Structure 1
Amino acid sequence: MQATRLTTFLQRLGRPGGAPAMLLWAALAGLLGALATIVFRDGLALMQRLLVGHSGSLVEMAAALPWPVRIVLPCAGGVVAGLFLVLAKRWADATPPDYMEAIASGNGQVPVPQTLLRSASSLCTIASGGSIGREGSMVQLAAMAASLIGRCARFDTARLRLLVACGAAAGITSAYNAPIASAFFVTEIVLGTIAMDSLAPMMVASVMANITMRHMPNYKPTYEMPPFPDVTGGEVLLFALLGILAGLTAPQFLRLLATARRQFQKSALPLPARLGLGGLAVGIISVWLPQVWGNGYSVVNSLLHHPWAWEAVLAILVFKVLATLFTVGSGAVGGIFTPTLFVGATLGYLFGQGVHALLPELTAAPSAYAIVGMAAFLTAATGAPIMAILMIFEMTLSYQVMLPLMLACVIAWLPGRGTGLSMYEITLKRQQEYQARARLRGTLMQDLIRPAQTVVAQDASLARMMDMFRAHPVKYLYVVDANGRYQGVVALRDLAGAPETTVAAEVLQRDQLPLITPEMALDQASNQFHQHHGERLPVVASLADPLLLGVVYKTALLDAYTRLSREEFPGLQS
Structure 2
Amino acid sequence: MTAETSPAGTRVRRIARGVPHRVQLYSRLIFRKLLASRVRDSEVALLVIAVLIGAVVSAVTCLTGEALVLIRIALFGSTEAVHLSSGEGIDPIRLIAVPIVGSLIYGFVAWGERRLRGRDIIDPIEANALYGGKMSLRDSISLALMTLFSAGIGASVGMEAAYTQAGSGLASRVGQALRFRRQDLRVLVGCGAAAAISAAFNAPLAGSFYAFELVIGAYSLTALAPVGMAAVTAAVVGRSFFGLAPLIVIPDQMPPGNVDFLYFAATGIAAALIGVIAMRTVTGFESILQQWRLPRGLRPFVGGVVLGGLAFAFPPVLGSGHGGIEVTITEATPFMLLLGLLAAKLVASAVSVGSGLRGGLFSSSLYIGALLGALIGQIAQQIDPILSTESITFTLVGMGAVGAAIVGAPVTMILLVLELTASYSITIGVIVAVLLASFGVRQWFGYSFSTWRFHQRGLKLKGAHDVGWIQELTAETLMQRDMVFVKSSDSLEAVKAQHPAGETGQLFVLDDDGGYRGVIDVATLHLAPPPTGGTASRVGDLLPLKQPVLARKTPIRTILKLFEESELETLAVVDSTVTRYVLGYCTESYVLRRYNQELERRRSEELGHSDLYGPAEER
1:424 corresponds to which of 446, 450, 457: 450
- Decide which of 373, 386, 402 is 1:348's aligned counterpart: 373
Look up the equivalent residue of 2:336 and give its one-letter code: E
Q: Does 1:200 align with 2:225?
A: yes
Answer yes or no: is 1:227 the counterpart of 2:252. yes
Closer, same or farther: CA 344–138 of 1 in aligned 2, 3 Å: same
User: Following the alignment from structure 1 to structure 2, what is the Cα–Cα distance between the partners of residues 218 and 227?
Assistant: 24
SS at match of 2:276: helix
For 2:67, the equivalent position in structure 1 comes to 43
2:9 corresponds in structure 1 to none
Pairing 1:259-338 to 2, within 5 Å after superposition: 259-338=284-363
How many Å apart are 1:63 and its aligned residue?
A: 4.6
Q: CA deviation at 1:111?
A: 2.2
1:173-188 correspondence to structure 2 within 5 Å: 173-188=198-213
| Partner Cα separation in structure 1 for residue 76 and residue 276 of structure 2 | 37
Matched to 2:54, the amino acid is G
Encode CA deviations 1:156-181: one digit per residue, 9 max, x unaligned.
44333321221111111111222122
Q: CA deviation at 1:82?
A: 2.2
Which residue type is aligned with residue 168 of structure 2? A
Correspondent of 2:241 among 196, 201, 216: 216
- State the partner residue of 1:22: 46
| One-letter code aligned to 1:431 | K
1:386-397 to structure 2, matched below 5 A, reads: 386-397=411-422
Distance 1:60 1:246, change over 3 A: closer
CA distance in 2, matches of 1:203, 1:433: 18
Change (3 A) 1:123 1:157: same
The 1:196–1:433 alpha-carbon spacing in structure 2 relative to 1, beyond 3 Å, is closer
Superposed displacement of residue 13, structure 1: 4.2
Determine the C-alpha separation between the residues in 2 that align with 1:11 and 1:185.
34
CA 1:62–1:72: 2 relative to 1, 3 Å: farther
Report what 2:396 is aligned to: 371
318 and 433 in structure 1: CA distance in 2 versus 1, 3 angstrom threshold: closer
Native 8 Å contact 2:217 2:463 kept in 1: no
Alignment match, 1:34: 58
What is the letter of the counterpart of residue 430 of structure 1? L
User: Is 2:281 aligned against 1:256?
Assistant: yes
Which stretch has the larger CA shift, 170-179 or 261-270? 261-270
Partner residue in 2 for 1:160: 185
Aligned to 2:215: 190
Deviation at 1:52, TM superposition (A): 3.9
Pair 1:108-2:130 in alignment: no
Consecutive unaligned residues of structure 2, counting only runs of 5 or more, are: 1-21, 468-500, 507-522, 528-556, 571-586, 593-619
Checking the alignment, whether the CA contact within 8 Å between 2:201 and 2:246 is kept in structure 1 is yes
Separation (CA, whole Å) in 1 of partners of 2:370 and 2:60:
28
In the alignment, residue 180 of structure 2 is paired with which amino acid? Answer: F
CA distance in structure 1 between the aligned counterparts of 2:85 and 2:419, rounded to whole angstroms: 28
Aligned twin of 1:8: 29
Question: Secondary structure of the equivalent of 1:57?
Answer: helix
Aligned to 1:447: none
Question: Pairwise mapping of residues 74-113 of structure 1 onto structure 2 (< 5 A)?
Answer: 74-92=99-117, 96-113=121-138
Query: Does residue 1:134 correspond to 2:159, yes or no?
Result: yes
Over 3 Å counting, the alpha-carbon distance change for 1:284 and 1:249 in structure 2 is closer
Q: CA deviation at 1:358?
A: 1.1
Distance 2:569 2:76 in 1: 74
Q: In the TM superposition, what is the alpha-carbon distance from 1:70 to its structure 2 partner?
A: 2.5
Aligned counterparts of 2:193 and 2:394: Cα–Cα separation in 1: 30
Q: Is the 8 A contact 2:253 2:390 kept in 1?
A: no
- CA separation in 2, counterparts of 1:282 and 1:94? 28
SS at match of 2:218: coil
What SS does the aligned partner of 1:365 have?
Answer: helix
Measure how far apart 1:67 and its partner are: 3.5
Post-superposition shift, 1:190? 2.6
Specify the alignment match of 1:535 in structure 2: 569
Q: Contact 1:247–1:380 (CA<8 Å) still a contact in 2? A: yes
Q: What is the RMSD of the two structures over their aligned residues, measured on CA atoms? A: 3.5
Alignment partner, residue 484 of structure 2: none
1:498-528 C-alpha deviation (Å, 9 max, x unpaired): xxxxxxxxxxxxxxxxxxxxxxxxx9xx89x
Distance 1:6 1:266 in 2: 52
Please give the secondary structure, in 1, of the residue aligned with 2:257.
Answer: coil
In structure 2, the CA distance between the partners of 1:148 and 1:389, relative to structure 1 (3 Å rule), is same
Map 1:440-451 to 2 at 5 A: none
Deviation, 1:135, is 1.2
CA contact (8 A) 2:85 2:319 kept: no
